[in-house]
Chain A
């Protein structure tokens, strides 16, 4: 069976790497974590720990994607885990914000918020689908 390139996994790798490096160079940039739904880490972790988490996740996932042909398959999943955890956190965070109808104590208009948060939520859904399709449905070909 033909294997496709998991572009959405690479997309997340690129996003997390750039955000992590930006935090290292300019710590106040932590507030832009809202763009990927990771405010919860920005407000509960030090900028260094948050940057380390982002960079670890992206390097680990990129390593797995680049070497998957000669890596043990269980190890591929272990390497993808931090990034998968981050995108799922983004999805759940954004869903929670939409469900409660306010962010940082400020109420907002639902459809405007949905339009703003949806790109990251959609990417997280596609990322999940990509991981499951690639490593759950089509392995052992």
Chain B
């Protein structure tokens, strides 16, 4: 029994240190996963801000076009009315 105490002790040390390594790795892996997610979220937020700006630009361009169209339509109507006189 005394002789078998050595492999038993080795078994306990090996199991506990590998278990510790596994647990520590899991914690580190979770931390780095959270950090990666946070980086991705902030990158997506920046992308959303750029998209919002683009939408605003498009809206402004659209309003300009509508204004120009209604001006042209008014001119056209005026021209047709003048010809009819």
Using a CB–CB cutoff of 8 Å, the interface residues on chain A facing chain B are: 40-41, 43-44, 73-74, 77, 80-81, 84-86, 88-89, 91-93, 96, 128, 131-132, 135-136, 139-140
Contact = CB atoms under 8 A, between A and B. Distances in A.
Given A81-B14, A88-B14, A140-B28, A135 B21 contact: yes
Nearest to A96: B6
Given A40-B4, A44-B3, A136 B20 contact: yes
The SS class assigned to the A binding surface is helix
Contacts of B4: 40, 44
A94 to B, nearest CB: 10
Interface residues of B, number: 22
B24 interface: yes
Contact of B18 (A41, A43, A84, A92): A84
A10 B21 CA distance: 20
Given A73-B22, A85-B10, A89-B6, 18 more contacts: A40-B3, A40-B7, A44-B3, A73-B25, A77-B18, A84-B14, A85-B14, A88-B10, A91-B10, A92-B6, A135-B21, A135-B22, A135-B25, A136-B20, A136-B24, A136-B25, A139-B28, A140-B29
Contact of B11 (A41, A43, A85): A85
B21 A132 contact: yes
Contacts of B11: 85
Interface in B12-40: 13-15, 17-18, 20-22, 24-26, 28-29, 31-32
17 contacts: A40-B4, A74-B22, A77-B22, A80-B18, A81-B14, A81-B15, A81-B18, A84-B17, A85-B14, A88-B10, A89-B7, A91-B10, A92-B13, A135-B25, A139-B24, A140-B31, A140-B32
